[in-house]
Amino acid sequence: MTDNSLKPFFSPKGVVIIGASTEPAKLGYVMARNLLRSGYTGAMHYVNPKGGTLFNRPLHKTVKQVPNPVDLAVILVPAPVVPDTLKECAAHGIKAAIIATGGFREAGSEGAALEDECLKIAHKHGMRLIGPNCIGLLDTHLPVDTTFLPPPPPAPGEVAFLSHSGAICAALTDWMRGQGMGLSRLVSLGNQVDVTETDLLTLTAADPHTRAIILYIEAIRDGQRFMAEAQKASLEKPIVALKVGRSAAGRKAAASHTGALAGTESAYDAAFRKAGILRADNTEEAFHWARALAWCPLPKGRRVAILTNAGGPGVTAADALETNGLELAALSEATIEGMRAVLPPFASLLNPVDILASAPPDAYATCLRLLLDDSGVDSAMVIVPPPPAFSAGAVAKAIIPVIQASDKPVIVVPMGDRLVQESIEFLRANQIVDYRFAERAVSALGILARRAETLAVLKERPEKSPTIKITRAEKALSKCESGTFVDQDTASELMKAAGIHTAESLLAKNANQAVTIAEQLDYPVAMKIASMDISHKSDVGGVALNLDSSAAVQVAFQNMTARIKHARPDAKIDGVTLQHMLPPGQEVIVGVVRDPQFGPLVMFGSGGVEVEGLKDVAFALTPLSRREAEEMLDSTWAGKKLAGYRNIVAADREAVVDALLRLASLAEALPRISEIEINPLRALPPGKGAWAVDVRIKL
């Protein structure tokens, strides 16, 4: 179905509420009242089998009695009656319905069967459904309100809220009102039997009244389609996501609430980054970010000027900059001299700029103008603890025109409560972002900088992936069974097909074969136990290094096989593999796991025996760009130390990046592969390459 099928939800010619009630305590009454009070100018109809009137309008006993036009139905009847109600709507030509009723998939198997029946009816008649188990939707600019939210309704604004949870909507719309924020539209998606957040992203991003979008997500049904739509929508409007269910307990709660299963958090993090979505850690942060994104221009960099009338708050703000990836701007001499001309001698003119408690409002305005005119300043923060000689409101009045005249973001921090209320009202009336404390303001400036950088990345042209010898790789896999780990020869062949250097590994079934192979490879050699049942060889004594003679190889074979038989009597041992010892280098882990929602998820981090203990890893989804591979390295200690650190010799970073890109291309090209792990990948000194030492591949 096309996006046109969703238009009746946001521009209906007529709305019918099925289950409207004359009893004020019932949701059917609240919903009918909200629609009437919303200012909706289209046709409004109410249905209740008892008949009568409601708000001086007729209560039709059946849907077929409703006069046209009507193209959106809001259904609030008992769950068992909903399927028949949908059939009545379809017979009347209604192509869009909001099922507000609960008691479906979230209530158990019987409810799930009812939900499936509703979807079949909708598909049969070309009808789109929002819900069930939701509170409806509203658009403050159309306007239309089909929710049962308590009054007063949200003020018209610039932030759209798409939520899997209905219960959170009432609390947050009330909180937003108290923060001076308005909504452009709100959609409670409920169980998402049909319409999902993915369906609404492009439509919401195209809304001229929406400047920022907030997603409250419990789980995503089709991860790859979501990413494709989110990338397009992110080019138009900033998207902030609050993904709940991070913990095991949270995931269980999310599943019981919506009948959905949460994906892995590392995959969600990687998916949001790739789609240009800004992930918030908590609800308050998501809405604070959205307000800044809706009201502020984007900065050209991360250099911040801080203007305050007290030293302590300025230092607090400066401390918070580093946490958010920002930096104090270095002010030009012209800026400093300009401020010196209007400030008392004891004012601090270095950033943070402390203009002292006695500074009048016009000094704030003049200094802020000078800071914003400085080419070395990308954004600014004005901190206003209650001034002793002037009101905070007077300061706000003085700086508002300066902020409005600039194309740089400015966030104001009126510190306090009652003494700064007037300034807060002035700022919000002019859509200037305010926070009570500097740390929250710095977080908002940080997200503005991230949005600017994210937007630039989204506009980059796709890179060409490394060439993989697909035919060679498919031939190597042709004799392998699905659901198993491939043998060492196949793994080596796949690495060669991908263009990843692999240390030649040969299998020996007895001590004499081991000696023959070791002499063929040339000493010194490494020996490893060969068993598909043993993942961590070193944990059970299954690795011996630097064997430099035939005697050493024989002893190592005998001791190793004896140890493994004792430690893992259940494991099938095929023998040992031998490799020529590679030169010293840094060891990292690279790998891919195929996420069921989002596809191949690439991993990089500290390798060898460190991987489980340090958990120093980064993830990114394919297709993997060079920039993303570089970011994976930069975000981990394993990647940073490739440049060398103290007594750690620098390694071939470029070769590691190349291996990541090739591994990602291999996983994308071969859907049969579910997991690849190279642990370790040994990065030799710069220019010498990186070699896969131990490779495990599962189909």
Cβ atoms of 355 and 343 closer than 8 Å? yes
* Res 23 pLDDT > 90: yes
- pLDDT bucket at 246, cuts 50 / 70 / 90: low
- Please tell me the class of the 1-151 domain: alpha beta
Q: What is the mean pLDDT of residues 435-460?
A: 96
Give pLDDT tens digits for 628-668: 999 999 999 999 999 999 889 999 999 999 999 999 999 99
| pLDDT for residue 611 | 59
pLDDT value at 607 more than 90? no
Burial class (CB in 10 A: 0-12, 13-18, 19+), 341: exposed
Distance CA 169, CA 177 (A): 12
Q: Which CATH class is domain 154-295?
A: alpha beta
> 298-458 belongs to which homologous superfamily?
Succinyl-CoA synthetase domains (3.40.50.261)
Domain boundaries, the chain: 1-151, 154-295, 298-458, 504-581, 586-698
Give the CATH number of domain 504-581; options: 3.30.1490.20, 3.60.40.10, 3.40.50.300, 3.30.70.330. 3.30.1490.20
* φ, ψ of residue 126 in degrees (nearest 5): 65, 40
Distance, in Å, from the CA atom of 614 to the CA atom of 311, rounded to the nearest integer, reads 40
CA 356 – CA 388 distance, rounded (Å): 11
The pLDDT of residue 534: 85
What are the tens digits of pLDDT across the range 102-153?
999 999 999 999 999 999 999 999 999 999 999 999 999 999 999 999 988 8
Query: Would the CATH topology of 154-295 be identical to that of 586-698?
Result: no
Q: pLDDT tens across 360-400, in order? A: 999 999 999 999 999 999 999 999 999 998 999 999 999 99
69-112: pLDDT as tens digits = 999 999 999 999 999 999 999 999 999 999 999 999 999 999 99
Angstrom distance (rounded) from CA 390 to CA 633: 51
Give per-residue pLDDT as tens, 256-271: 222 232 347 888 999 9
User: What is the secondary structure of 92-154 as a DSSP string?
Assistant: TT--EEEE----SGGG-HHHHHHHHHHHHHHHHHT-EEE-SS---EEETTTTEE-S-PPSSPP
The pLDDT score that the predictor gives to residue 313 is 92
Average pLDDT over the chain, rounded to an integer: 92
pLDDT at 610 over 70: no
CATH architecture of the domain formed by 586-698: 2-Layer Sandwich (3.30)
Distances (CA, A) of 70 to 81, 574, 695: 21, 72, 62
Task: Give the residue carrying structure tokens 């095991």.
Answer: 248
Model-wide pTM > 0.85: yes
Whether 352 and 314 have beta carbons less than 8 Å apart is answered as yes
